[in-house]
Amino acid sequence: MVEGLIIDGQRVNASDGQTFDVYDPSSGEVLASVAKATKADITRAVQSAHAALASKAWGGILPAERGRIMLRIAQAIRDRAEELAMLESRDNGKPLRQARTDVQVASRYFEFFGGAADKIMGHTIPLGPGFLDYTVREPIGVSAQIVPWNYPIQIGARGVAPALAAGCAVVLKPSSEAPMTALRLGEIALACGLPPGVLNVVPGTGSEAGVALASDPDINQLTFTGSVEVGIAVAKMAADNVVPVVMELGGKSPNVVFADADLDLTVQGVTNAIFQNAGQTCSAGSRLLVERKAHDALVERLAARARAMRVGPGVSDPDMGPIISKRQLETIERYVQIGKGEGAEIAAGGERPSGASLGRGFYYAPTLLDRVAPDMRVAQEEIFGPVLAIITFDDLEEAVALANRSQYGLVAGVWTRDINKAMAVSSRIKAGQVYINTYGAGGGVELPFGGYKKSGYGREKGLESLVSYTQVKNVCVKFAAV
Ligand code: NAD
């Protein structure tokens, strides 16, 4: 059976009837056959979104009612949590408990932004007697959203929920590597009463569906989450139509560990930050900057932890699942070879694991690259796999300089018992989010998230993200005294 596109409230085949196969990375087996959106399908989806905006059912809806539909979606996601988590785990390969968290976070996005739908307010501006000047935040229109494969339901919900809260209509293009839960989200939204055309879901390739959506002259806003390289291409396409863009791109985020840090807490935090989702996380803590005095003890503990991790099929809920594809696995292998060639030492992993349960899946062992120098490629480039680059520093000045020695600036972690040191580092780090003695905050739905430097611009998550889905109209009224 083919998983159809969702356009204008209907499940449909692609206009040319083409499909693509989606693979389970745990086994390499085909998981599903999915309709492959064409340019014509994208055009139809964008037009149906415009029709929804012009309709009474969505364009004329009360903000509170918009919020209620979103709260129903949040509840429906929770009601189907186990089924969605299982599907996400099979599609993406992530351990089941991580997929369960992703589903809960997706639900939270609809809850959080559903609650905000009737609280999007403007200002009054004092111009003096005889004037009333006020601003209105209007929906920006049709939001095109292009998402990657690493957190499909979370990132899908992260963009869709604020857009709906603001009153927009959305065309969502999931990655062809992992499109399944985005389609379920589209189904759920319809079943919860979201009018047809308000959320269209159009899986397809980047080169056809992605390009068609980014260059569509009738979209009004674009949210892109993915690599820097594709992000630049997408931003240029949007620029041709003067379409504003939110760019959520890659990272090489540092965890800065001082010798006075709580070692147990740090080992736990640093391990999760790199190995969650097999390191395929934009905000992965993929650079460990450790004070020289603490290096040996910390690396020993991290290595023991990495070696003890169970790697296996996502649905068996191991500590770490497979890599998304053979291609990505080979990229990771290449980077580890490059690191070794540059002089890094393997402190754990550095190879494909073996084991009967791993079959033909795309697995790589949790890997620590020690003795990394700051300008090595493995210290500078996003590997997007379970590979931690370890670099030492001697003092706070050097720690800050190393943390900022990157083209990226998405997230940073600081680990110390000294609050003054923590505050000094956090104020000087160039990153969109800084965590102190923790890393991530359970999905961080409420916290503005986005990049400095080449990690992107614009903010997702938190009330901050509503800015991208609204446009400000200023109304100036002149009246005479009577
Ligand atoms: P990618 O850039 O290859 O693809 C992202 C999306 O863009 C996919 O849907 C893809 O089909 C589409 N696409 C590809 N080429 C296109 C084109 N020419 N025009 C329009 N669309 C196109 O990224 P990926 O491999 O799916 O994901 C990994 C990358 O995403 C990493 O760099 C990671 O850091 C980044 N990422 C960032 C965030 C964040 O919030 N900052 C979150 C997750 C992932």
Closest ligand 1 atom, CA of 237?
19
Kindly report the three-state secondary structure assignment for every residue of the chain: CEECEEECCEEECCCCCCEEEEEECCCCEEEEEEECCCHHHHHHHHHHHHHHHHCHHHHCCCHHHHHHHHHHHHHHHHHCHHHHHHHHHHHHCCCHHHHHHHHHHHHHHHHHHHHHCCCCCCCEECCCCCEEEEEEEEECCEEEEECCCCCHHHHHHHHHHHHHHCCCEEEEECCCCCCHHHHHHHHHHHHCCCCCCCEEECCCCHHHHHHHHHCCCCCCEEEEECCHHHHHHHHHHHHHCCCCEEEECCCCCEEEECCCCCHHHHHHHHHHHHHHHHHCCCCCCCEEEEEHHHHHHHHHHHHHHHHHCCECCHHHCCCECCCCCHHHHHHHHHHHHHHHHHCCEEEECCCCCCCHHHCCCCCCCCEEEECCCCCCHHHHCCCCCCEEEEEEECCHHHHHHHHHCCCEECEEEEECCCHHHHHHHHHHCCCCEEEECCCCCCCCCCCCECCEECCEECCECCHHHHHHHEEEEEEEEECCCC
Which residues are within 8 A (CB) of 423 and not within 5 positions of it... i.e. 6 or more apart? none
Tell me what the mean pLDDT of segment 221-249 comes to.
Answer: 98
What confidence tier does 441 reach under pLDDT thresholds 50, 70, 90? confident
Q: Is residue 427 part of a domain?
A: yes
- pLDDT at residue 31 is higher than 80: yes
Tell me what the mean pLDDT of segment 460-478 comes to.
Answer: 98
| CA 167/CA 194 separation, integer angstroms | 12
Q: Is residue 480 part of a domain?
A: no
Tell me what the mean pLDDT of segment 335-340 comes to.
Answer: 98
Q: Is residue 75 part of a domain?
A: yes
pLDDT at 435: 98
pTM of the model: 0.97
Please write the tens of the pLDDT for every residue from 153-201: 999 999 999 999 999 999 999 999 999 999 999 999 999 999 999 999 9
- pLDDT at residue 482 is higher than 90: no
Same domain, 462 and 441: no
Cα 42 to chain centroid distance, Å, stands at 22
Q: Are strands 221-225 and 142-146 parallel, antiparallel or unpaired?
A: parallel
Same domain, 74 and 173: yes
Q: Is residue 363 part of a domain?
A: yes
d(CA 225, ligand 1 centre) in Å: 5
- pLDDT at residue 356 is higher than 90: no
Residue type, 263: L
d(CA 188, ligand 1 centre) in Å: 25
What confidence tier does 330 reach under pLDDT thresholds 50, 70, 90? very high
Which CATH number fits the domain that encloses residue 168? 3.40.605.10
Q: Is residue 211 part of a domain?
A: yes
Catalytic residue chosen out of the listed positions 3, 111, 177, 248? 248
Q: What are phi and psi of 72, to 5 degrees?
A: -65, -40
Same domain, 277 and 367: yes
> Is there a contact between 33 and 1 (Cβ–Cβ < 8 Å)?
yes
pLDDT at 123: 97
- pLDDT at residue 94 is higher than 90: yes
pLDDT at 357: 75
Same domain, 205 and 270: no
| Residue 227 near ligand 1, beta carbon < 6 Å | yes
Tell me what the mean pLDDT of segment 354-378 comes to.
Answer: 92
Same domain, 262 and 395: yes
| Domain coverage including residue 395 | 254-445
Q: Are strands 124-125 and 29-35 parallel, antiparallel or unpaired?
A: unpaired
| CA 425/CA 415 separation, integer angstroms | 10
Same domain, 192 and 332: no
Q: Is residue 111 part of a domain?
A: yes
**Paired tokens of 138:** 């209007």
Q: Decide if 248 is catalytic.
A: yes
As a residue count, the chain comes to: 482
Q: What angle do CA 186, 191, 193 make, to 5 degrees?
A: 100
Structural domains of the chain, count: 2
Closest ligand 1 atom, CA of 410?
41
User: Percent of the chain, pLDDT > 90?
Assistant: 96
Comparing CA positions, the residue from 138, 53, 92 lying closest to residue 315 is 92
What confidence tier does 52 reach under pLDDT thresholds 50, 70, 90? very high
pLDDT at 481: 83
d(CA 77, ligand 1 centre) in Å: 25
Please write the tens of the pLDDT for every residue from 388-437: 999 999 999 999 999 999 999 999 999 999 999 999 999 999 999 999 99
Same domain, 301 and 348: yes
Closest ligand 1 atom, CA of 449?
40
Q: Atom 26 in ligand 1: which residue has the minimum CA distance?
A: 148
Same domain, 91 and 123: yes
Q: What is the mean pLDDT of the chain?
A: 97
Tokens 């890997």 locate to 367
| Residue 251 near ligand 1, beta carbon < 6 Å | yes
- pLDDT at residue 442 is higher than 90: no
Same domain, 44 and 58: yes
Please write the tens of the pLDDT for every residue from 419-433: 999 999 999 999 999
Q: Decide if 65 is catalytic.
A: no
| Residue 223 near ligand 1, beta carbon < 6 Å | no
Q: Atom 39 in ligand 1: which residue has the minimum CA distance?
A: 248
Same domain, 240 and 283: no
| CA 307/CA 403 separation, integer angstroms | 27
Q: Is residue 482 part of a domain?
A: no
Closest ligand 1 atom, CA of 204?
11
Tell me what the mean pLDDT of segment 291-302 comes to.
Answer: 98
d(CA 435, ligand 1 centre) in Å: 25
Same domain, 149 and 291: no
d(CA 159, ligand 1 centre) in Å: 14
Tell me what the mean pLDDT of segment 269-297 comes to.
Answer: 98
Which CATH number fits the domain that encloses residue 370? 3.40.309.10
Same domain, 467 and 372: no
Tell me what the mean pLDDT of segment 298-320 comes to.
Answer: 97
Q: Atom 32 in ligand 1: which residue has the minimum CA distance?
A: 227
Q: Is residue 450 part of a domain?
A: no
**Paired tokens of 97:** 């408990």
| Residue 146 near ligand 1, beta carbon < 6 Å | yes
